[in-house]
Amino acid sequence: MSNIQDKVVIITGASSGIGEATAKELAYKGAKLVLAARREDRLQKLQEEIQNNGGQAIYKVTDVASNEQMEELADYALKAFGKIDVMVNNAGVMPLSPVHEKKFNEWNMMIDVNIKGVLYGIAAVLPSMRERKEGHIINVSSIAGHLVFPASSVYSGTKFAVRAITEGLRIEEFSNNIRTTIISPGAIATELLEAISDAELKAAVVEDSKVAIKPANIARAIAFAIEQPSDVAINEMIIRPTIQQL
Ligand SMILES: NC(=O)c1ccc[n+]([C@@H]2O[C@H](COP(=O)([O-])OP(=O)(O)OC[C@H]3O[C@@H](n4cnc5c(N)ncnc54)[C@H](OP(=O)(O)O)[C@@H]3O)[C@@H](O)[C@H]2O)c1
pLDDT digits (tens, 9 = 90+) for 25-56: 999 999 999 999 999 999 999 999 999 999 99
**Do 102 and 26 meet the contact criterion of CB atoms below 8 Å apart?**
no
CA-nearest residue for atom 47, ligand 1, is: 92
Whether residue 81 lies inside any domain: the answer is: yes
Query: Above pLDDT 90, what percent of the chain?
Result: 98
Mean pLDDT for 115-138 is 98
Query: Above pLDDT 70, what percent of the chain?
Result: 100
pLDDT over 70 (residue 115) = yes
**Do 103 and 141 meet the contact criterion of CB atoms below 8 Å apart?**
no
Whether residue 41 lies inside any domain: the answer is: yes
For position 1, what pLDDT does the model report?
A: 66
For residue 217, what is the domain's CATH number? 3.40.50.720
102 lines ligand 1 (CB under 6 A): no
Mean pLDDT for 115-144 is 98
18 lines ligand 1 (CB under 6 A): yes
For position 66, what pLDDT does the model report?
A: 98
Averaged pLDDT of the chain: 97
Q: How confident is the model at residue 2 (pLDDT cuts 50, 70, 90)?
A: confident
Longest dimension (CA), the chain: 54
Total tally of structural domains belonging to the chain: 1
For position 14, what pLDDT does the model report?
A: 98
Mean pLDDT for 167-181 is 98
Whether residue 169 lies inside any domain: the answer is: yes
Whether residue 208 lies inside any domain: the answer is: yes
139 lines ligand 1 (CB under 6 A): no
Mean pLDDT for 180-197 is 97
222 lines ligand 1 (CB under 6 A): no
pLDDT over 90 (residue 174) = yes
Distance CA 196, CA 96 (A): 6
Distance CA 33, CA 46 (A): 11
Whether residue 235 lies inside any domain: the answer is: no
pLDDT over 70 (residue 245) = yes
Whether residue 195 lies inside any domain: the answer is: yes
205 lines ligand 1 (CB under 6 A): no
Closest ligand 1 atom number to CA of residue 19? 16
Whether residue 1 lies inside any domain: the answer is: no
Mean pLDDT for 71-86 is 98
Closest ligand 1 atom number to CA of residue 43? 40
Domain with 55 in it = 8-228
> How far apart are the CA of 64 and the centre of ligand 1, in A?
11
Whether residue 131 lies inside any domain: the answer is: yes
> How far apart are the CA of 175 and the centre of ligand 1, in A?
31
Q: What residues have CB less than 8 Å from 245, skipping those under 6 apart? A: none
pLDDT tens-digit readout, 148-158: 999 999 999 99
Reply yes or no on whether 76 is catalytic: no
CA-nearest residue for atom 25, ligand 1, is: 13
pLDDT over 90 (residue 218) = yes
